[in-house]
Structure 1
Amino acid sequence: MNHNANYPPSFLLLQQEGYLISSCLALGLTELRVANVHNKGAFYSSLLNISVGMERLMKAIIIMQYMLNNGLLAPTKNQLKNYGHNIIELYDECVKISISNKGELPNRRSLNNTNQKLLELLSDFAQTTRYHNLDALSTQQAGKDPLEHWGEIMLLILEQDVIPFSKIKDINMVK
């Protein structure tokens, strides 16, 4: 990587990470928008990109906070690795950072049920269920099928957020 003399390498590395995070989230949301029962691969691609993007975003926040508190020194690879792929724990850590900086990121318990379920889905997918199909082949199935999990969240959204007339139309489209 070429280092611009006007910026420290840490800035440029975080900038590059930002590009990756942005791309993962944008691709994930685009794939989710085109996913349907005839294009199930788009659901998997969406979950993969969104979970990776969210994990990397929250780790970048943790790194920047660490750097602010430690004379711009970055945490070690092992310190960062200790967070693993647990998006729920990363979110909770970002809430702590938000509080310490007088931010307004709501704690997990104050999120609505749908947002809590989405965090659970992304965290499960990042940690274990991204391999659900392969694990099921070897009878080492761990966790809920991510598409079933997504379907439960969609039904929750339909029940809570969609007006009754639209529900009938949307349910007929799913079948």
Structure 2
Amino acid sequence: MFGFFKKKEAKNEETTAPTTVVSLDGELFAPANGKVIAIGEVSDPVFGEKMMGDGYAVVPTDGKIHAPVKGKVTSIFPTKHAVGFIMDNGAEVLLHMGLDTVELNGAPFKISVKEGQTVTPETLVATVDLDALVTAGKDNAMVVVITNMDKVDTFSVTELGDAPAGKTVGSFKTKA
């Protein structure tokens, strides 16, 4: 389902100032209160080098994690560290909570959604014990990637820096 490890990338534009783009069919939202960073700043090379797709991350200031897109939950990983979504336009989006957190076996994560559930940026997806991540020596970046970038024509992160959960931080257009 997810286009893991596909290296195909869309045209990418990262800016610190908001831009107005016409005819987009996908909005991306901050999944948490915190600092939005470019995907290249993520310390994990799988994400930072866009091996799983293009995206962004939020370094959260609290543990309430919301849906990064409007769509449907397609998968919740057994270790609760990641949730997959599909949007109406066919974009597949992965929300990966923290880095190298699979080995924590779900301990710091409380999932609040179910597979098949329709979500919006207001939907609480999970509550993460950020202190437990720190204690375990894990990076707490909430990474959002589009995993089927071969279907994406243009991609843009338009808001970097501090943002509240639910704020539009990027957009993309799928190929015709």
- Mark yes or no: TM-score above 0.5: no
User: Shorter-chain-normalised TM-score: which range?
Assistant: under 0.3
Bigger radius of gyration: 1
Ranked by relative contact order (alpha carbons within 8 Å, sequence separation 6 or more), the top structure is: 2
